[in-house]
């Protein structure tokens, strides 16, 4: 009943979209955390090669984001979303077979890159669908609610996957494929088409329009800095927690669980409070909090110091994520929501790809690990200054 109350007032298409996102997140969280373990422990692939595969797949995925968004503006949302979800389900079925037969790393990498391309292309389609059916004044709340549903999946998935992996890594990939099949079925049967482009909107001039929007370009440039900082939570954070702070794998897992649980519980209340402020000022505060949180990571000496840092970082994330997405949706002219959300997704994935690489280089090369995290915190501070400068100039 409480869940129904949270979704009250939203278009039914948004409710089905949230279900699709939640099922997908749960499925991916079952297998993705164990991907590197499978490649390293079962196939004896060096971590460097695994890192290259993830970086290349991230770059291909980033490039696919604006293409997926532009295509949804031109051809509609539902047809493409269903097709891409179905294709991704097929790729995970094939990945399951590759894992079962211990296929070569080269073949696995090629299919993983295709999978990343298909996956990231769907996110601007979903974001554009949300924008189509949600009034501007409720988009912050809607994006926040979508994050709550996704984080519930990401919080539960690794715990379930940890129990399933004893039966074989192939079972994890097969379960992810099953989740994608269910998501595809829900999208095909329940989700309604939310955008039918007029002939004049279908002309392929979307990319030129983006490069001609200086406000969007400035915003994306500042966001790139922030996403590079946010990407530290993917790999450098866990390596630092283990190698330099001395936490066990279970303690590190609890830190990630804390991140997801806080989002699930606190995202909507924080989003409602943040909506009372101008978006660029809220993002300014988020940048400052990211800087403080990641600087605390460098200073932490035990589990409690890392917990305190994660709380600060998660608060910044809960302010930044729905606010930035909603802000880009408001900048988009009529008929160009998909390509604008795709450009935003491109920058996000670039930051998540480049950020961990930068963090790893800083931690490996700087004489003191606290100094490395200080540089990362400084990047967040620069992003905060950038948002504040934009807020002074914007109408």
Domain spans in the chain, listed from the N-terminal domain onward? 12-194, 207-395
Reported as a pLDDT band with limits 50, 70 and 90, residue 353 is confident
- The percentage of the chain sitting over the pLDDT mark of 70, rounded to a whole number, equals 95
Is 256 or 13 the better-scoring residue by pLDDT? 13
Q: Are 263 and 317 in contact (CB under 8 A)?
A: yes
CA-wise closest residue to 336 among 66, 48, 25: 66
Tens digits of per-residue pLDDT, 151-167? Answer: 888 778 877 887 787 88
- The percentage of the chain sitting over the pLDDT mark of 90, rounded to a whole number, equals 50
Annotate 17-69 with DSSP letters as a single string.
HHHHHHHHHHHHHHHGGGHHHIIIIIS---HHHHHHHHHHHHHHHHHHHHHHH
The separation between the first and the last C-alpha atoms of the chain, rounded to the nearest angstrom, is 41
Q: Are 172 and 34 in contact (CB under 8 A)?
A: yes
Compute the mean pLDDT over every residue in the chain, rounded to the nearest whole number.
Answer: 88
Q: Looking at domain 207-395, does it have CATH number 3.30.450.40?
A: no
| Fold agreement between 12-194 and 207-395 | yes
DSSP state of 367: S
Type and span of the H or E element at 138: none
Q: Cβ–Cβ contacts within 10 Å for residue 133, how many? A: 17
In angstroms, rounded to a whole number, what is the distance separating the alpha carbons of residues 268 and 194?
A: 25
What is the pLDDT, as a whole number, of residue 202? 47
Class of 12-194 in CATH: mainly alpha
Give the highest mean pLDDT range of 13-27, 121-135, 147-161, 283-297: 283-297
Q: Are 267 and 144 in contact (CB under 8 A)?
A: yes
Tens digits of per-residue pLDDT, 1-57? Answer: 455 567 777 899 999 999 999 999 988 888 887 787 788 778 888 867 877 888 888
CA dihedral sign, ordered 222, 226, 229, 231: negative
- Strand, helix or coil for residue 332: coil
Q: Are 149 and 23 in contact (CB under 8 A)?
A: no
3-state helix, strand, coil in the chain (%, to 5): 85, 0, 15
pTM, two decimal places: 0.81
Annotate 190-227 with DSSP letters as a single string.
TPPP-----GGGGSS-HHHHHHT-HHHHHHHHHHHHHH
Residue with tokens 């978006």: 279
CA dihedral sign, ordered 195, 198, 204, 208: negative
DSSP state of 193: P
| pLDDT surpasses 70 at 203 | no
What is the pLDDT, as a whole number, of residue 206? 62
Question: Of the ranges 28-37, 125-134, 253-262, which one carries the lowest mean pLDDT score?
Answer: 28-37
How confident is the model over 238-259, as a mean pLDDT? 82
Tens digits of per-residue pLDDT, 206-248? Answer: 667 677 888 999 999 999 999 999 988 877 888 788 888 988 8
Q: Cβ–Cβ contacts within 10 Å for residue 31, how many? A: 28
CA-wise closest residue to 116 among 99, 92, 80: 92
In angstroms, rounded to a whole number, what is the distance separating the alpha carbons of residues 26 and 149?
A: 9
- Strand, helix or coil for residue 376: helix
Q: Each residue of 216-233: b (16+ CB within 10 Å) or e?
A: bebbbebbbbbbbbbbbb
φ/ψ bin of 180: left (φ > 0), alpha (ψ from -120 to 50), beta (otherwise): alpha
From residue 313, alpha-carbon distances to 80, 127, 144, 256, 310 in Å are 35, 24, 16, 11, 5
């Amino acid at each position: 009943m409480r869940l129904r109350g949270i979704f009250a007032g939203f278009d039914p298409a948004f409710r089905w979209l949230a279900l699709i996102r939640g099922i997908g997140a749960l499925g991916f969280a079952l297998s993705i955390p164990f991907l590197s373990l499978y490649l390293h422990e079962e196939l004896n692939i060096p971590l460097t090669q695994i890192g290259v595969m993830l970086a290349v797949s991230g770059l291909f995925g980033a490039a696919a984001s604006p293409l997926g968004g532009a295509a949804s503006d031109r051809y509609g949302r539902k047809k493409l979303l269903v097709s891409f979800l179905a294709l991704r389900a097929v790729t995970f079925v094939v990945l399951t077979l590759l894992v079962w037969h211990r296929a070569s790393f080269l073949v696995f990498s090629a299919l993983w890159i295709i999978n990343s391309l298909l996956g990231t292309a769907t996110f601007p389609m979903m974001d554009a669908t949300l924008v189509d059916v949600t009034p501007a004044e409720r988009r912050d709340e809607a994006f926040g609610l979508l994050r709550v549903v996704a984080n519930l999946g990401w919080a539960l998935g690794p715990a379930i996957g940890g129990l399933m992996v004893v039966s074989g890594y192939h079972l994890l990939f097969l379960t992810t494929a099953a989740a994608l099949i269910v998501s595809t079925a829900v999208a095909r049967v329940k989700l309604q088409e939310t955008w039918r482009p007029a002939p004049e909107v279908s002309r392929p001039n979307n990319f030129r329009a983006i490069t001609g929007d200086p406000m969007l370009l400035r915003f994306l440039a500042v966001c790139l800095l922030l996403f590079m900082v946010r990407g530290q939570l993917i790999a450098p954070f866990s390596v630092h927690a283990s190698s330099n702070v001395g936490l066990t794998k279970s303690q590190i897992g609890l830190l990630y669980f804390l991140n997801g649980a806080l989002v699930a519980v606190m995202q909507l209340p924080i989003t409602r409070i943040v909506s009372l402020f101008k978006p660029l000022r809220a993002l300014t505060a988020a940048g400052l909090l990211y800087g403080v949180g990641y600087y605390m990571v460098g200073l932490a000496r035990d589990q409690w110091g890392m917990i305190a840092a994660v709380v600060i970082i998660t608060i910044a994330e809960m302010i930044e994520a729905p606010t930035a997405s909603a802000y880009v949706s408001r900048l988009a002219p009529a008929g160009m929501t998909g390509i604008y959300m795709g450009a935003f997704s491109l920058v996000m994935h670039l930051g998540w790809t480049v950020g961990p690489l930068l963090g790893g280089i800083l931690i490996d090369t700087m004489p003191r690990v606290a100094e490395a995290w200080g540089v990362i915190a400084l990047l967040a501070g620069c992003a905060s200054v950038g948002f504040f400068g934009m807020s002074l100039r914007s109408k």
